[in-house]
Structure 1
Amino acid sequence: MGRLTQNQPFDVQDRLIPKVGSGDKILFWQDKWVENRPLHERFPNLYVLESEKGCKVSDRYKVGQHGIEWFWGSNNALTSEDLLCEWADCISAVKEVNIQETSDVWLWKTGSVTSDSMVKTIRGELDHINVLNETKVLKWLHWIPKKVNCFLWRVVLDRIATKEALQIRRINLSSLQCVLCNNEVESVNHLLMTSESAQLVWSLIFQWMNIPLPGYILSVVQLLETIDSHSWQKKIKRAVYVVVAATCWNLRLMRNECIFKNKSPNITNLIGNIKAISYTWIKNRAGLQEIIWEKWRSFSF
């Protein structure tokens, strides 16, 4: 279910380079702080005996009269000559690292260059990763609640649990028919765009906004592309986007109530809910105090 990008993810663990200070942030066995290789790979027998596998570097040494003194801190004793020899080799390896009184720092490796501006560097790399064409129409607006932004993102990627998607996951269902029309298989675009109920809802919503609704739109992605192509003022375009998000959200809620609460679809109530909830989001989240309910009812700014 859903679509995959063609981008190859980078290995974060391979790109993170620890700069050891006191060892307060670096895992003794699991991080690459000695010769760029985790100690649990070099000394697997010791790692099996370790009782605190997530211990920090600072948990395995103390500062004595003669400097740094490393010790075996596990509750399981080293009982054989082979294990004692392996621990001696481990001590020899960690002694090559210079322990300091400063805090540990994580660097980000890009090619042969490491940088301590990790967040900035990673963000720069992420900005150059190609995104799915479908997601280019998404607007992560603070006017819309986070859960609805995430819902719309999943809609665009075809990743909501429709009956069609559940069938693909091999979940047995008594019927795959859309509960709103009982005529076709319930897919994302059928539920939210092309079912008779959805088409009626969109027609009424766009009449309310006084915007012509093209007849060729068969998916949420096409609808968002159409909105994005308009030359409206930024505020108007955002308001329309909010209404579209509220419509998709409420269509989904109506579908769930039909399935789980045995309610019948009520288009009149749904239209009222869409207008009310979109007004609430804009009024409380966009800071547009000039928008009052009387004007919003006629979609007038």
Structure 2
Amino acid sequence: MALAEVNDKWVWIETNLYEFLICTVKRMLSKRNDYCGNYVLEWCKWLPLKCIVFVWRAEMEKNATGAACIDLNINVEVSNCPFCDYSDETVSHLFCSCMIASTIWLHISRWCKIALFVVSSVRDILELQNLMRLTGLVKNVFHGILIVGCWCLWRARNSLRFENKEVQVEEIIREIKSLGYFELALN
């Protein structure tokens, strides 16, 4: 490898142009890309901020699951999934591969009359409305339902983990529907 004696140049990521153009910056910002590699969450305006922040943290796997607590050297009595007690409680397991989560997503796909879907990460859940090629209000509502679904799963997990309340899929589905309708009606 040899070094060449060439002047350094600044080049825009999107266009390979050497000059500054406002329209290029506007186009870059409107594409919702983050060039440092972070996922940019599509916000759902009609949901409470706590739900949005929760799924944003879940996508980064920053929620206090059993496995995350162990990774941070926090003593926890049990690190298995409280729903199935089969696997370590990770964000991906809790929202994607656990039997309870799979059943919730099955009910949501039937309720929303869309094709059955399988997800392997929270990012998959958050991008599902794009993969289904939904548009307009239908896209926004479905996206909101998915976020509410994650929030309700987490609340059911917390009730089971901290209050020993029995988890019933029908109750979680009822909560998803009522929260979804309630929040949509407010906005």
TM-score of Structure 1 vs Structure 2, range by shorter chain: 0.7 to 0.9
Q: Specify the code of the residue in structure 1 equivalent to 2:171.
A: N
Q: 2:74 aligns with which of 166, 171, 183?
A: 171
Residue by residue over 1:16-71, the C-alpha shift from the partner in whole angstroms, topping out at 9 and shown as x without a partner, is xxxxxxxxxxxxxxxxxxxxxxxxxxxxxxxxxxxxxxxxxxxxxxxxxxxxxxxx
Give the aligned partner of residue 203 of structure 1: 106
* Structure 2 alignment gaps of length 5 or more: 1-24
CA offsets 1:234-254 (integer angstroms, 9 cap, x no match)? 100000001001100000000
CA RMSD across the alignment: 2.0
- Tell me the residue number matched to 2:91: 188
Higher strand share: 1
For residues 38-49 of structure 1, what are the structure 2 equivalents within 5 Å?
none
Partner SS, residue 264 of structure 1: coil
> Larger C-alpha radius of gyration, 1 or 2?
1
Q: Distance in 1 between matches of 2:117 and 2:34?
A: 32
Shift of 1:129: 5.3
Q: Is the 8 A contact 2:84 2:99 kept in 1?
A: yes
User: Identity percentage over the alignment?
Assistant: 27
Distance in 2, matches of 1:231 and 1:157, equals: 24
Structure 1's consecutive aligned runs of 4 or more residues displaced over 4 angstroms after TM superposition are 126-129
Distance 2:50 2:149 in 1: 14
If the length of structure 1 is used for normalisation, what is the TM-score?
Answer: 0.50
2:57–2:63 Cα contact (<8 Å) kept: yes
Structure with bigger helix share is 2
The question of whether the paired residues in 1 share the 8 Å contact of 2:106 and 2:117 is answered with no
Could you give the per-residue CA deviations for residues 185-241 of structure 1, whole angstroms, max 9, x where no partner exists?
0000111111011111111111111111233x2112122223213332310000000
- What TM-score, normalized by structure 2, do the two folds share? 0.79
- Map Cα deviations across residues 250-281 of structure 1 (whole Å, 9 max, x no partner): 00000000011111111111101100101111
- Pick the aligned partner of 1:132 from 34, 37, 57: 37
Q: Distance in 2 between matches of 1:269 and 1:207?
A: 16
Unaligned runs of 5+ in 1: 1-122, 286-301
Equivalences, count = 159
The aligned residue for residue 27 of structure 1 is none
